[in-house]
Amino acid sequence: MALLELEKVEKLFFSRDSMTTAIKNISCAIDKGEFVSVIGPSGCGKSTLLSLISGLIHPTSGTIKLDGKEIKKPTPETGYMLQQDYLFPWLTIEQNITLGLKTMGKLTEETRKHSLYLLNELGLGDRANHYPNELSGGMRQRAALVRMLTSDPKLLLLDEPFSALDYQTKLKLEDLVFSTIKQHRKTAILVTHDIGEAIAMSDRIILLSHRPAQVIRIFNIPDELRNALPFQARNHPAFNGWFQDVWKELESLEQQI
Ligand code: ADP
Ligand code: MG
């Protein structure tokens, strides 16, 4: 069964004297354990789509279901990771990554230990008592990843999480996030403007049109790229052909402006 189902989702934004259609008639299903990337022209509605799936905003029409239940509000079943880490500067890394558990009343010695275990797993075991400004950008995003995983969400929403990082850090983090997600058997949706990243990380790529976003095409990535770590996938002989295909399709959309 699909973990996430979108049916005829539409989103309109209203202001006093205008109306913007951000999403138009999107239907799709994402299975448990799948890694799906969403790409499309800038401003087409990608972040809006993730906000809808997170339950932060609601569709104007259509339905979004997680595990068969309509999403009405944000729940711990969905984790969110953004370009900016939004770590609180006045809290230590440990306090930051356990804050969600604390607000949900789920912070126990056991969940605290598990959070510190995850922190260690992502190479930040010695940073628990540090403050965010003592960490590099890459380390902060790793801490944000740990924070997202501590509440054990079923679905991970990643909105351009690597785009503020330098290239080398981004490549390393792609591998780390990919293997962490696979190891914990999570389902993930990644929004990115980096075609290479989408090909290297995902099982499927959903290409959206200009605003209002509609699904233009779905690319199914072949096993040899899907199963490789992103860095290896980027160096795989099949990678370039896929890159060209997705590039051309995206380019033809950009030219329609
Ligand atoms: P993307 O992430 O693909 O760059 P967004 O989802 O952020 O695009 O935005 C899609 C469109 O919806 C844009 O035209 C944006 O201005 C509009 N939009 C997004 N959020 C709001 C909002 N809260 N109120 C009004 N318009 C919005
Ligand atoms: Mg966006």
The domains of the chain, with CATH numbers, are 2-77+153-254 (3.40.50.300), 87-151 (no CATH)
Nearest CA to 92 out of 37, 33, 147, 42 is that of 147
Average pLDDT over residues 187-213: 96
Residues with CB under 6 A from ligand 1: 13, 20, 22, 42-48, 211
d(CA 130, CA 4): 37
**Peptide bond connecting 222 to the previous residue in cis, omega within 30 degrees of 0:** no
User: What are the pLDDT digits (tens) for 6-17?
Assistant: 999 999 999 999
Given ligand 1 and candidates 48, 84, 211, 253, which is best to mutate, with the most ligand atoms within 8 Å of its CB? 48
- Centre of ligand 1 to C-alpha 13, Å, is 8
- Centre of ligand 2 to C-alpha 110, Å, is 36
- Centre of ligand 2 to C-alpha 42, Å, is 7
- Centre of ligand 2 to C-alpha 46, Å, is 5
Whether the per-residue pLDDT at 255 is higher than 80: the answer is no
- Centre of ligand 2 to C-alpha 208, Å, is 12
User: What are the pLDDT digits (tens) for 126-147?
Assistant: 999 999 999 999 999 999 999 9
The reported pLDDT for the residue numbered 1 is 76
d(CA 106, CA 197): 35
Q: Whose CA is nearest to atom 14 of ligand 1?
A: 43
The reported pLDDT for the residue numbered 257 is 62
Q: Whose CA is nearest to atom 20 of ligand 1?
A: 48
Average pLDDT over the chain reads 95
Given ligand 1 and candidates 9, 12, 20, which is best to mutate, with the most ligand atoms within 8 Å of its CB? 20
Question: Which atom of ligand 1 is the closest one to the Cα of 49?
Answer: 6
Whether the per-residue pLDDT at 229 is higher than 70: the answer is yes
- Centre of ligand 2 to C-alpha 163, Å, is 11
pTM, entire model: 0.94
Split at pLDDT 50, 70, 90, the class of 62 is very high
Residue 165 identity (one-letter amino acid):
L
Q: Whose CA is nearest to atom 25 of ligand 1?
A: 13
Range 125-134 contact pairs with CB under 8 angstroms and sequence separation of 24 or more: 127/93, 128/92, 128/93, 128/94, 129/92, 129/93, 129/94, 130/92, 130/93, 131/89, 131/90, 131/91, 131/92, 131/93, 132/85, 132/87, 132/88, 132/89, 132/91, 132/93, 132/96, 133/89
Question: Which atom of ligand 1 is the closest one to the Cα of 14?
Answer: 25
Q: Whose CA is nearest to atom 27 of ligand 1?
A: 13
Split at pLDDT 50, 70, 90, the class of 254 is confident
